[in-house]
Amino acid sequence: MRVLVAMSGGVDSSVAAALLVSGGHDVVGATMKLWGGPSDTGCCSVADVDDARRVAQQLGIAHHVFNFSEEFERHVVGPYVTDHAAWRTPNPCIECNRHLKFDRLLDRADQLGFDAVATGHHARVTREAGGEWTLRRGADPAKDQSYVLYMLGQAQLARVLLPVGELTKSEVRKRASALGLRTAAKPDSQDVCFISRRGGRQAFLGDRIPMRQARVVDMTGAELGELPALELVTVGQRRGLGSLGPVDENAPGAGRRYVVAVDGPSATVTVGPPAAMMVSEIAVVQAAWVAVCPARGERLTLQMSAHGQPVGAWWSDGVVRVEEPVRRVAPGQSVVLYRDDAVVGGAVVR
């Protein structure tokens, strides 16, 4: 099989390429140039491209760099800024997977005559007896990345390989070490690639959108203080709220306050105790299903973050209902539904 491997310069994609080479496939490595601005995090630096190129040399395969910076700006960076301006909390890594890794790169692979695209994601793709493709959790629970791949449908899964999905992270590093790959001990990328550590989110957004001062109120509407930038506040946030005035020391959860709601038009942030964070249903939009929409009444499990604790849930026409109250999820974030270890689909919180 002729396979185009997305090589980010990390150990997972390096080993993915190595496994395919050892499996006898015709393998070519490709690194996507996505972010053209300054970067000291993520997988978009010059050093990452160089690491990918050198690993390809070690494996004896060709390596290409594809410039998708315009698409990245249009589908990831631009919406990231727009969402913050509209008081939502986006997940740019999910949108990068949706629009770049498993859309634009797949199109390029088709144009170049490749049979499949492979990545270093920790997840698995299997095929059922009836021919249906299934996306499953990776073998390493601590590194499972199926949550960020929930948007993959049958057409994509038929052309996607995830070679490291059957391995734990320690096994990946052992294989890289045994092969002498330069990425064997390289730390995992944890941050948004276009947000630098030096300036952070505040500097990045501050250069692109105006920041408005916000008033902070409690659940009764009483004024507690002010925050300098409404656009940087996230539902569920606890830190960075500053001094919000006196609290009733006898009240449950005294001293702990969380952002319960962000109202853009009035530039108001409402904070409340832990109990105020709990909800029994989550309204969502942009639902995407691996195969078909689940039946109403079918008990599934819901995951609200990449490594969150799954809870029992049911899908019902744009609303996910949970069997026990869960913490609010910030609008713009994604929630994902599972059937055992298989991804059913997911959606963006409204």
What amino acid positions are annotated as catalytic residues?
A: 96, 193
Question: What is the 3 state secondary structure string of the chain?
Answer: CEEEEECCCCHHHHHHHHHHHHCCCEEEEEEEECCCCCCCCCCCCHHHHHHHHHHHHHHCCEEEEEECHHHHHHHHHHHHHHHHHCCCCCCHHHHHHHHHHHHHHHHHHHHCCCCEEECCCCEEEEECCCCCEEEEECCCCCCCCHHHHCCCCHHHHCCEECHHHHCCHHHHHHHHHHHCCCCCCCCCCCCCCCCCCCCHHHHHHHCCCCCCCEEEECCCCCEEEEECCHHHCCCCCCCCCCCCCCCCCCCCCCCCCEEEEEECCCCEEEEECHHHHEEEEEEEEEEEECCCCCCCCCCEEEECCCCCCCEEEEEECCEEEEEEEEECCCCCCEEEEEECCEEEEEEEEC
Please list the residues that pair with 301 across neighbouring strands.
312, 338
Here the tokens at position 7 are 């090589």
- What amino acid is encoded at 161 in this protein? L
- Judge contact between 301 and 337, C-beta under 8 A: yes
Closest alpha carbon to 23 in 164, 182, 173, 171: 164
Q: Which two tokens stand for residue 307?
A: 């490594």
What whole-number distance in Å separates Cα of residue 76 and Cα of residue 193? 11
